[in-house]
Structure formats: C-alpha cells, structure tokens
Amino acid sequence: MTIVTSGPEVRPAMLDDIRRLVECESPSSDHAAIARSADVVAGIGAGLLGSDPERIVLDGVTHLRWRLGGPTKVLVLAHHDTVWPLGSLATHPFVVEDGIVRGPGCFDMKCGLAMALHAIASLPSHEGITLLVTGDEEVGSATSRALIESEAAAARAALVLEASADGGALKLARKGVSTYEVHIAGRAAHAGLEPERGANAAVELAYQVLAIAALGDPDAGTTVTPTVLSAGTTVNTVPSSAVVFVDSRAWTTTEQDRVDAGIRSSMSHVQGAALEVRGGPNRPPLERSASAELFASAQAVAADLGMAPLTSAEVGGGSDGNFTAGVGIPTLDGLGAVGGGAHADHEHVVVSELEPRTRLLAGLISRILEADRP
C-alpha cells in the first residue's frame, strides 16, 4: 500500500491554514458569516487541491464539494460552521503556545477540516475522492442531510473529520438522536371561581413528563430526557396550553423506533386535554458494525506508520457520520484533531498530533482506494 509521509515544512503551512479558518468566524446561524467562511475554505482548498469546489447554497447555507475525479469511492466529510458567535475571537483569540492550539472552533472542527485538505493534497492521485464541507452541522444538518446521504450512497466508505474522543480515540459508534415537542391543548378557566370548567394543561404536562422519562432504558443505554417545559399565562388562570421538549438518544435503530412509537402513542390523562407530537428521529445511530472494518484498516495503517495502536470509543453525540451509516455506508468517525473542550472555553488541539493524524487519514484513504482497484 501507499504510505504518505510529510516533511517538516507541512506543520507551519497547516497551522497557518488553521489560523485562517479559525479567524474567519462562522456561527451556524449567520448565513453571511458562513458564506465568508466558505470563501476562505475554498481558497485554501483550491491552493492545496488544484481546483475550485462547487458552491452549493441550500436555504441560504453555503456548502462546498470537491469531486476530485471519477466516481466517488471515498467520501471525506467535514463542516466549517461552529457554535461560537461573532466576536468570540476578542475573548478567545487564536494562539499557538506550549504545543497547544486555541481558538473558537479549533477542535470542533476547523483543525479537522485543515487535516482533510492537507491529507488529500499529499496523495499522488485524487481519483475517486469527494470532499464535502457542510455549513450547518452544529444545528442538525437540516439543509445538508440529503446532500450528505446522496454523496454517501455511491461511496465505498465515509471518513468523518470530527474531533477524536478522549486521548485520540476514534469514534466507532454514535447514538441516534431524536428530538420532540409534545404540545398540550387544554381549556382556560378562572383558577379561583370555576377551575372545574378548565382542562389543566399543566397537570397533563406533569403526566406526560413522567411517561416520557419512563421510556428511557439504562440497560440499553437509551436516554429520553424532558428538557424545556412551559405552561400557563397567569397565576389565576387554569393553563390552556403547555409544551415539553424532549431529547432522546439510542445506540440502535430498534431502540430509537421503540421510543418514537412510545411518544407517539401517548394518551391524555386530563379530560378535555389533547396532545400533538412534533419532531422525531433526527440522526440514525452510527452502530459499531458500520465502523469495524474501517477501524481494522486504520489500525493496519497506523502500524505501517509506526504509530501506537489506535483506541476507540462510543459516544452519545451525533454527527454527519450518523447519516452516512444510516444509508448503509461503512463509516469511521473521529479522525480529526486530538485535544478537547469542544464548545467550551478550554477548547484546544494538541499540535504534535496534527501531522501523525493527517498521515493516518491519507494512508487510510489510499488503502481504501487500492482495495477498490482491480
């Protein structure tokens, strides 16, 4: 197989690209900022890959796609949006000191994006590689999901540049994510004069919260968590409406479907109250079976590169890798930066891990492509 190495000149170049990416702030909700960030990503990518990307704007969100020749065999997935609002650089400036990169979005996932670009650029051939950089991952990938799934459908493998788990572990499984709003319609009445004429939506809300929470299964690792609740308007009025938001996570599609059925079959307990369920599964589970073969290949590449054996983890958070696994494509996640503090003040990346992990990614892409050749 082809083992890709890099000289000492690569690290300064990659760090400069990371700086440019981080210093172009790109909160998911600001479409103009996402468009500016896409320009920066496109410029860096064109310089490294020798071609401009396609700009795909969906509902105002800018995504970038490089199809680098021939049918897609390997889909490399990254995103350029972050959770950090404009102005975050004033309090969290980009710095590199004591072997650590800091700055808003550096770990999740602008370092991973830079690694993807540099890894692909280092390969002798780009034939069969598609790089998709989306702009709305942090807010659920509403505009990019169909794009991701359609690109993945033709691929032999999907490699996701989300940051690694603790200690650099690759992410072999992710829980599926479902979100719900359970709306309750009651009937208002004066709480002192004639409460019996009302249908108390707050009381119904209490029943629903307990029933929803009971759908969780700790033994299966399934969580069903009521999060935001609201009911009532004034202290002397029987509440006529209420709502509870729900976050549910499950390791398997079977569990995700069970919870979905349970929430949708809820019955009201308060006479006169009616229920409406909105939402549902957002991301299917990335099950360990989708990652096993690719993880074994990554271990072989790491051994060829003289790296320590790779470690793995299962995590509760979702990523775009859930979508690629959901359409049946082998998927390996967590190939990005090593560090910690995603979405937090202490977000950081370990500089010494950038080059080895970039070589690992390049070697893994090569191995997949070579296995697909006659």
At residue 256, the pLDDT reads 98
Name the DSSP letter for residue 47: H
- pLDDT at residue 69 in the model: 86
Helices 31-49/10-23 angle, 10° precision = 160
Q: Identify whether the C-beta of residue 185 lies closer than 8 Å to the C-beta of residue 276.
A: yes
* Domain ranges across the chain: 10-175+285-372, 176-283
Pairing relationship of beta strands 74-79 and 157-160 according to DSSP bridges: parallel
Q: Evaluate if residue 320 carries a pLDDT over 90.
A: yes
Q: CA 336, CA 333: separation in Å to the nearest integer?
A: 8
The class (CATH top level) of 176-283 is alpha beta
* Confidence category of residue 372, pLDDT binned at 50, 70, 90: low
- Compute the distance between CA of residue 148 and CA of residue 198 in angstroms, rounded to an integer: 48
Q: Which tokens is 287 given?
A: 């099950």
Contact 74, 368 (CB under 8 A): yes
Using DSSP's 3-state secondary structure scheme, residue 286 falls into strand
CB 115 within 8 A of CB 14: yes
Q: How far apart are CA 80 and CA 117, in angstroms?
A: 12
341-367 pLDDT, tens digit each? 999 999 999 999 999 999 999 999 999
- 10-175+285-372: CATH number: 3.40.630.10
For the entire predicted model, the pTM comes to: 0.90
Q: Give the residue-averaged pLDDT of 269-283.
A: 97
154 and 72 Cβ atoms separated by less than 8 Å: yes
